[in-house]
Structure 1
Amino acid sequence: MGDPETWQQEQISLAYVSAVATHAGCTIAAWNVDKDGVDVTLKRNHITVDLQMKCTHAATLLSDGQTYSFSLDAPTYNKLRDPYRSSAGFLGLVVVERDLDDWLVHSQQDLLMRCSGYWARVQDLPNPGNVDSKTLHLPKSQRIDSLGIDEMFDYAFKRLFPNAPEGDFK
Protein backbone atom coordinates (compact mmCIF):
# COMPACT_ATOMS: atom_id res chain seq x y z
CA MET A 1 0.00 0.00 0.00
CA GLY A 2 2.90 2.35 0.57
CA ASP A 3 2.98 5.54 2.58
CA PRO A 4 0.03 6.19 4.89
CA GLU A 5 -2.14 9.25 4.72
CA THR A 6 -2.60 11.53 7.73
CA TRP A 7 -6.10 10.25 8.48
CA GLN A 8 -4.79 6.67 8.60
CA GLN A 9 -2.12 7.67 11.10
CA GLU A 10 -4.76 9.38 13.22
CA GLN A 11 -7.01 6.31 13.15
CA ILE A 12 -4.26 3.84 14.13
CA SER A 13 -3.24 6.07 17.05
CA LEU A 14 -6.84 6.13 18.28
CA ALA A 15 -7.19 2.36 17.82
CA TYR A 16 -3.97 1.82 19.75
CA VAL A 17 -4.97 3.93 22.75
CA SER A 18 -8.48 2.47 22.69
CA ALA A 19 -7.20 -1.11 22.86
CA VAL A 20 -4.67 -0.39 25.61
CA ALA A 21 -7.05 1.76 27.68
CA THR A 22 -9.76 -0.89 27.48
CA HIS A 23 -7.27 -3.47 28.76
CA ALA A 24 -6.34 -1.06 31.58
CA GLY A 25 -9.97 -0.80 32.72
CA CYS A 26 -10.77 2.65 31.34
CA THR A 27 -13.75 3.97 29.49
CA ILE A 28 -12.93 6.10 26.48
CA ALA A 29 -14.54 9.20 25.03
CA ALA A 30 -13.39 10.30 21.58
CA TRP A 31 -14.05 13.87 20.50
CA ASN A 32 -15.21 14.59 16.97
CA VAL A 33 -13.83 18.14 17.16
CA ASP A 34 -10.27 18.85 18.31
CA LYS A 35 -11.14 22.29 19.74
CA ASP A 36 -9.50 21.72 23.13
CA GLY A 37 -6.40 19.92 21.89
CA VAL A 38 -7.81 16.58 23.01
CA ASP A 39 -8.47 13.50 20.89
CA VAL A 40 -9.54 11.11 23.66
CA THR A 41 -10.48 11.29 27.32
CA LEU A 42 -9.88 8.24 29.49
CA LYS A 43 -11.95 7.73 32.63
CA ARG A 44 -11.39 5.37 35.54
CA ASN A 45 -12.74 5.58 39.09
CA HIS A 46 -14.24 9.04 38.44
CA ILE A 47 -10.87 10.50 37.38
CA THR A 48 -10.17 11.60 33.79
CA VAL A 49 -7.07 12.21 31.71
CA ASP A 50 -6.97 13.89 28.30
CA LEU A 51 -4.72 12.75 25.48
CA GLN A 52 -3.72 14.45 22.26
CA MET A 53 -2.71 11.54 20.04
CA LYS A 54 -0.09 11.82 17.33
CA CYS A 55 1.33 9.19 15.00
CA THR A 56 4.52 9.12 12.98
CA HIS A 57 6.60 6.78 10.87
CA ALA A 58 9.55 9.18 11.09
CA ALA A 59 10.10 9.40 14.85
CA THR A 60 13.13 11.37 16.00
CA LEU A 61 15.20 9.38 18.47
CA LEU A 62 17.65 11.35 20.61
CA SER A 63 21.31 10.35 20.82
CA ASP A 64 20.67 8.40 24.05
CA GLY A 65 18.66 5.92 21.96
CA GLN A 66 15.99 5.86 24.68
CA THR A 67 14.00 9.05 24.11
CA TYR A 68 11.81 10.23 21.27
CA SER A 69 11.52 13.92 20.46
CA PHE A 70 8.29 15.36 19.09
CA SER A 71 7.47 18.93 18.11
CA LEU A 72 3.95 19.86 19.22
CA ASP A 73 2.32 23.02 17.91
CA ALA A 74 2.21 25.79 20.54
CA PRO A 75 -1.60 26.21 20.62
CA THR A 76 -2.11 22.50 21.42
CA TYR A 77 0.79 22.52 23.91
CA ASN A 78 -0.77 25.50 25.71
CA LYS A 79 -4.20 23.86 25.84
CA LEU A 80 -2.74 20.68 27.34
CA ARG A 81 -0.54 22.46 29.90
CA ASP A 82 -3.21 24.93 31.08
CA PRO A 83 -3.26 24.90 34.90
CA TYR A 84 -7.04 25.46 34.91
CA ARG A 85 -7.87 22.22 33.11
CA SER A 86 -10.05 19.82 35.06
CA SER A 87 -8.47 16.79 33.34
CA ALA A 88 -4.70 16.41 33.22
CA GLY A 89 -3.31 16.84 29.69
CA PHE A 90 -0.92 14.38 28.03
CA LEU A 91 0.62 13.82 24.62
CA GLY A 92 0.50 10.32 23.17
CA LEU A 93 2.80 9.37 20.30
CA VAL A 94 2.30 6.16 18.32
CA VAL A 95 5.30 5.10 16.24
CA VAL A 96 4.56 3.00 13.16
CA GLU A 97 6.48 1.63 10.19
CA ARG A 98 6.49 3.72 7.02
CA ASP A 99 4.63 1.07 5.00
CA LEU A 100 0.96 0.84 5.92
CA ASP A 101 0.99 -2.91 5.22
CA ASP A 102 3.38 -3.40 8.14
CA TRP A 103 1.04 -1.87 10.74
CA LEU A 104 -1.23 -4.89 11.24
CA VAL A 105 -0.88 -8.64 10.97
CA HIS A 106 -4.11 -10.63 10.60
CA SER A 107 -4.69 -14.32 11.11
CA GLN A 108 -7.67 -16.46 12.05
CA GLN A 109 -6.53 -16.34 15.68
CA ASP A 110 -4.97 -12.89 16.03
CA LEU A 111 -4.88 -9.27 15.12
CA LEU A 112 -1.44 -7.89 15.91
CA MET A 113 -0.81 -4.15 15.92
CA ARG A 114 2.82 -3.55 14.99
CA CYS A 115 3.33 -0.15 16.58
CA SER A 116 4.41 1.32 19.89
CA GLY A 117 2.92 4.15 21.93
CA TYR A 118 4.63 6.57 24.30
CA TRP A 119 3.35 9.40 26.46
CA ALA A 120 4.52 12.68 27.93
CA ARG A 121 2.85 14.80 30.58
CA VAL A 122 2.16 18.28 29.27
CA GLN A 123 -0.07 19.35 32.15
CA ASP A 124 1.45 22.16 34.25
CA LEU A 125 4.58 22.52 32.10
CA PRO A 126 5.85 26.09 31.69
CA ASN A 127 4.59 28.57 29.13
CA PRO A 128 6.86 28.28 26.09
CA GLY A 129 6.64 31.98 25.30
CA ASN A 130 6.25 33.30 21.78
CA VAL A 131 7.09 30.18 19.76
CA ASP A 132 5.35 28.21 17.03
CA SER A 133 5.98 24.81 18.60
CA LYS A 134 7.38 23.11 21.67
CA THR A 135 9.62 20.05 21.54
CA LEU A 136 8.62 17.35 24.00
CA HIS A 137 10.63 14.31 25.05
CA LEU A 138 8.96 10.93 25.32
CA PRO A 139 11.19 8.33 27.00
CA LYS A 140 10.79 4.77 25.75
CA SER A 141 10.13 3.86 29.39
CA GLN A 142 6.89 5.92 29.26
CA ARG A 143 4.95 3.46 27.15
CA ILE A 144 1.25 3.72 26.58
CA ASP A 145 0.45 0.43 28.29
CA SER A 146 -1.43 -0.49 31.47
CA LEU A 147 1.41 0.71 33.70
CA GLY A 148 1.76 3.97 31.76
CA ILE A 149 -1.97 4.60 32.02
CA ASP A 150 -1.75 3.93 35.77
CA GLU A 151 0.99 6.58 35.99
CA MET A 152 -1.16 9.11 34.12
CA PHE A 153 -4.09 8.49 36.46
CA ASP A 154 -1.84 8.68 39.53
CA TYR A 155 -0.65 12.10 38.38
CA ALA A 156 -4.21 13.25 37.66
CA PHE A 157 -5.41 12.08 41.09
CA LYS A 158 -2.55 13.74 42.98
CA ARG A 159 -3.10 16.94 41.03
CA LEU A 160 -6.78 17.04 42.01
CA PHE A 161 -6.32 15.75 45.57
CA PRO A 162 -2.82 16.75 46.73
CA ASN A 163 -3.60 16.03 50.39
CA ALA A 164 -5.19 12.61 49.90
CA PRO A 165 -3.45 9.73 51.66
CA GLU A 166 -1.20 7.65 49.41
CA GLY A 167 -3.05 4.77 47.78
CA ASP A 168 -6.55 6.30 48.06
CA PHE A 169 -7.04 6.29 44.28
CA LYS A 170 -6.59 2.59 43.65
Structure 2
Amino acid sequence: MGLSKSEHQGAFGESFVQVLASAAGLTVAKENIDTRGIDLTLGYKGFLGGWRHPSIEVQVKTWIRHRATHRNGFWKYRMNAKHFNELAGQNFRMPRFLVLVIVPDDWPEYATPTQEHTELRHAAYWVSLLDQHPVDPEQVSTVAVDVPVRNLLTVPALQQLLAPSEPIRAEA
Protein backbone atom coordinates (compact mmCIF):
# COMPACT_ATOMS: atom_id res chain seq x y z
CA MET A 1 0.00 0.00 0.00
CA GLY A 2 1.36 3.40 -0.96
CA LEU A 3 1.29 6.61 1.02
CA SER A 4 -2.03 8.33 1.53
CA LYS A 5 -2.45 11.74 -0.11
CA SER A 6 -1.85 13.55 3.21
CA GLU A 7 1.20 11.39 4.08
CA HIS A 8 2.67 12.03 0.62
CA GLN A 9 2.00 15.76 0.87
CA GLY A 10 3.52 15.96 4.37
CA ALA A 11 6.61 13.96 3.37
CA PHE A 12 7.14 16.28 0.40
CA GLY A 13 6.79 19.36 2.65
CA GLU A 14 9.44 18.09 5.06
CA SER A 15 11.73 17.15 2.18
CA PHE A 16 11.24 20.61 0.66
CA VAL A 17 12.49 22.19 3.90
CA GLN A 18 15.36 19.68 4.12
CA VAL A 19 16.53 20.62 0.60
CA LEU A 20 16.56 24.33 1.50
CA ALA A 21 18.40 23.57 4.75
CA SER A 22 21.00 21.51 2.89
CA ALA A 23 21.48 24.34 0.39
CA ALA A 24 22.07 26.65 3.38
CA GLY A 25 24.76 24.32 4.77
CA LEU A 26 22.66 23.28 7.75
CA THR A 27 22.27 19.97 9.52
CA VAL A 28 18.81 18.45 9.66
CA ALA A 29 17.55 16.10 12.36
CA LYS A 30 14.17 14.41 12.53
CA GLU A 31 12.85 13.08 15.81
CA ASN A 32 12.12 9.38 15.69
CA ILE A 33 8.73 9.97 17.38
CA ASP A 34 6.77 13.22 17.03
CA THR A 35 5.79 13.87 20.64
CA ARG A 36 6.66 17.58 20.89
CA GLY A 37 5.06 19.00 17.75
CA ILE A 38 8.43 19.42 16.06
CA ASP A 39 9.15 17.89 12.68
CA LEU A 40 12.75 18.99 12.12
CA THR A 41 15.64 20.53 14.01
CA LEU A 42 17.92 22.63 11.83
CA GLY A 43 21.43 23.44 13.00
CA TYR A 44 24.62 25.13 11.92
CA LYS A 45 28.08 23.67 12.57
CA GLY A 46 30.35 26.34 13.99
CA PHE A 47 29.79 30.06 14.50
CA LEU A 48 27.03 31.94 12.72
CA GLY A 49 26.24 35.55 13.52
CA GLY A 50 28.17 35.33 16.79
CA TRP A 51 26.25 32.22 17.93
CA ARG A 52 28.00 28.89 18.45
CA HIS A 53 26.24 25.89 16.87
CA PRO A 54 22.84 27.63 16.64
CA SER A 55 19.73 25.50 16.12
CA ILE A 56 16.02 26.03 15.56
CA GLU A 57 13.02 23.70 15.64
CA VAL A 58 10.36 23.74 12.96
CA GLN A 59 6.90 22.35 12.53
CA VAL A 60 6.17 21.83 8.84
CA LYS A 61 2.64 22.14 7.50
CA THR A 62 1.60 21.82 3.88
CA TRP A 63 -1.26 23.47 2.08
CA ILE A 64 -2.58 22.64 -1.39
CA ARG A 65 -2.20 25.62 -3.73
CA HIS A 66 -5.83 25.81 -4.86
CA ARG A 67 -6.99 25.93 -1.22
CA ALA A 68 -4.30 28.33 -0.03
CA THR A 69 -5.59 31.85 0.41
CA HIS A 70 -3.74 35.03 1.12
CA ARG A 71 -5.04 38.51 1.77
CA ASN A 72 -3.33 41.73 2.72
CA GLY A 73 0.12 40.12 2.50
CA PHE A 74 -0.64 37.07 4.68
CA TRP A 75 -1.39 33.42 4.07
CA LYS A 76 -4.53 32.78 6.13
CA TYR A 77 -3.74 29.35 7.56
CA ARG A 78 -5.92 27.51 10.11
CA MET A 79 -4.09 25.01 12.26
CA ASN A 80 -5.09 22.52 14.90
CA ALA A 81 -5.05 24.12 18.38
CA LYS A 82 -2.78 21.37 19.76
CA HIS A 83 -0.20 22.00 17.03
CA PHE A 84 -0.51 25.77 17.53
CA ASN A 85 0.19 25.37 21.26
CA GLU A 86 3.42 23.50 20.51
CA LEU A 87 4.74 26.68 18.86
CA ALA A 88 3.05 29.53 20.75
CA GLY A 89 4.68 31.40 23.60
CA GLN A 90 8.15 32.18 24.86
CA ASN A 91 8.99 29.35 27.22
CA PHE A 92 11.04 27.25 24.78
CA ARG A 93 14.80 26.88 25.10
CA MET A 94 15.25 26.74 21.32
CA PRO A 95 13.43 29.04 18.84
CA ARG A 96 10.46 27.38 17.15
CA PHE A 97 8.87 28.24 13.82
CA LEU A 98 5.93 27.21 11.72
CA VAL A 99 6.99 26.53 8.14
CA LEU A 100 4.10 26.50 5.70
CA VAL A 101 4.84 24.80 2.38
CA ILE A 102 2.42 25.59 -0.44
CA VAL A 103 2.26 22.50 -2.67
CA PRO A 104 0.72 21.78 -6.09
CA ASP A 105 -2.73 20.24 -6.27
CA ASP A 106 -1.39 17.08 -7.91
CA TRP A 107 1.68 15.18 -6.68
CA PRO A 108 3.24 14.65 -10.15
CA GLU A 109 3.81 18.43 -10.14
CA TYR A 110 5.81 18.39 -6.87
CA ALA A 111 9.12 18.08 -8.75
CA THR A 112 10.06 18.44 -12.40
CA PRO A 113 13.55 17.24 -13.33
CA THR A 114 15.39 18.27 -16.49
CA GLN A 115 18.99 17.81 -17.62
CA GLU A 116 19.85 21.27 -16.25
CA HIS A 117 17.92 21.39 -12.97
CA THR A 118 15.10 20.04 -10.86
CA GLU A 119 12.29 22.42 -10.05
CA LEU A 120 10.47 21.95 -6.74
CA ARG A 121 7.01 23.49 -6.39
CA HIS A 122 5.82 25.77 -4.95
CA ALA A 123 7.32 27.65 -1.99
CA ALA A 124 7.71 27.70 1.79
CA TYR A 125 7.01 30.52 4.25
CA TRP A 126 7.85 30.88 7.94
CA VAL A 127 6.39 32.55 10.99
CA SER A 128 7.30 32.75 14.67
CA LEU A 129 4.47 32.36 17.19
CA LEU A 130 6.69 33.63 20.00
CA ASP A 131 4.33 36.54 20.71
CA GLN A 132 1.19 34.38 20.66
CA HIS A 133 -0.48 32.84 23.69
CA PRO A 134 -1.46 29.16 23.78
CA VAL A 135 -5.20 28.53 23.49
CA ASP A 136 -7.48 26.20 25.41
CA PRO A 137 -8.09 23.23 23.08
CA GLU A 138 -11.26 22.47 25.02
CA GLN A 139 -12.63 25.83 23.85
CA VAL A 140 -11.03 26.19 20.41
CA SER A 141 -10.27 23.41 17.91
CA THR A 142 -8.38 25.48 15.32
CA VAL A 143 -6.46 28.74 15.35
CA ALA A 144 -6.09 31.24 12.51
CA VAL A 145 -2.42 31.96 11.84
CA ASP A 146 -1.28 34.78 9.59
CA VAL A 147 1.89 33.73 7.78
CA PRO A 148 3.51 36.73 6.05
CA VAL A 149 3.92 36.25 2.30
CA ARG A 150 7.14 38.27 2.59
CA ASN A 151 8.59 35.54 4.88
CA LEU A 152 9.65 33.37 1.96
CA LEU A 153 11.90 30.57 3.23
CA THR A 154 15.21 30.99 1.40
CA VAL A 155 18.83 30.11 2.15
CA PRO A 156 19.55 33.62 3.56
CA ALA A 157 16.28 33.54 5.54
CA LEU A 158 17.22 30.22 7.15
CA GLN A 159 20.63 31.56 8.15
CA GLN A 160 18.96 34.65 9.63
CA LEU A 161 16.53 32.49 11.62
CA LEU A 162 19.45 30.56 13.10
CA ALA A 163 21.52 33.62 14.00
CA PRO A 164 19.29 36.67 14.36
CA SER A 165 20.92 39.97 15.18
CA GLU A 166 17.96 40.68 17.42
CA PRO A 167 15.20 38.49 18.90
CA ILE A 168 12.71 37.03 16.43
CA ARG A 169 9.28 38.59 16.77
CA ALA A 170 6.04 37.59 15.17
CA GLU A 171 4.92 39.72 12.24
CA ALA A 172 1.86 41.82 12.93
Q: Same fold per TM (> 0.5)?
A: yes
Q: SS where residue 80 of structure 1 aligns?
A: coil
Q: SS where residue 36 of structure 1 aligns?
A: coil
Ranges in structure 2 where 5+ consecutive residues have no aligned partner: 45-51
| TM-score between the two structures when normalised by the length of structure 1 | 0.81
| TM-score between the two structures when normalised by the length of structure 2 | 0.80
Residue 139 of structure 1 corresponds to: 148
**Equivalent position to 2:159, from 138, 146, 150:** 150
User: What whole-Å deviation, never above 9, does each CA across 1:52-111 have from its counterpart, x for those lacking one?
Assistant: 10111121212x2x3201112111211212432111111111111211122211123322
- The one-letter amino acid of 2:81's match is A
* Alpha-carbon offset, residue 41 of structure 1: 0.6
In structure 2, do the counterparts of structure 1 residues 28 and 16 end up closer, same or farther at CA, with 3 Å as the change threshold?
Answer: same
How far apart in 2 are the matches of 1:50 and 1:72? Answer: 17
Give yes or no for the alignment of 1:109 onto 2:116. Answer: yes
Cα RMSD of the aligned pairs, angstroms, is 2.1
- The one-letter amino acid of 1:26's match is L
Percent identity over the alignment is: 22
How far apart in 2 are the matches of 1:20 and 1:100? Answer: 19
Q: SS where residue 96 of structure 2 aligns?
A: strand
Give yes or no for the alignment of 1:27 onto 2:27. Answer: yes
Residue 48 of structure 2 corresponds to: none
* Alpha-carbon offset, residue 20 of structure 1: 0.7
**Richer in helix (by share):** 1
How far apart in 2 are the matches of 1:141 and 1:127? Answer: 25
- The one-letter amino acid of 1:102's match is E
Q: SS where residue 25 of structure 1 aligns?
A: coil
**Equivalent position to 1:94, from 98, 101, 107:** 101
How far apart in 2 are the matches of 1:14 and 1:131? Answer: 27
User: What whole-Å deviation, never above 9, does each CA across 1:103-134 have from its counterpart, x for those lacking one?
Assistant: 21112332210210001102342233432121
Ranges in structure 1 where 5+ consecutive residues have no aligned partner: 161-170
How far apart in 2 are the matches of 1:29 and 1:38? Answer: 10
* Alpha-carbon offset, residue 5 of structure 1: 0.3
* Alpha-carbon offset, residue 158 of structure 1: 4.8
State the aligned residue count. 154
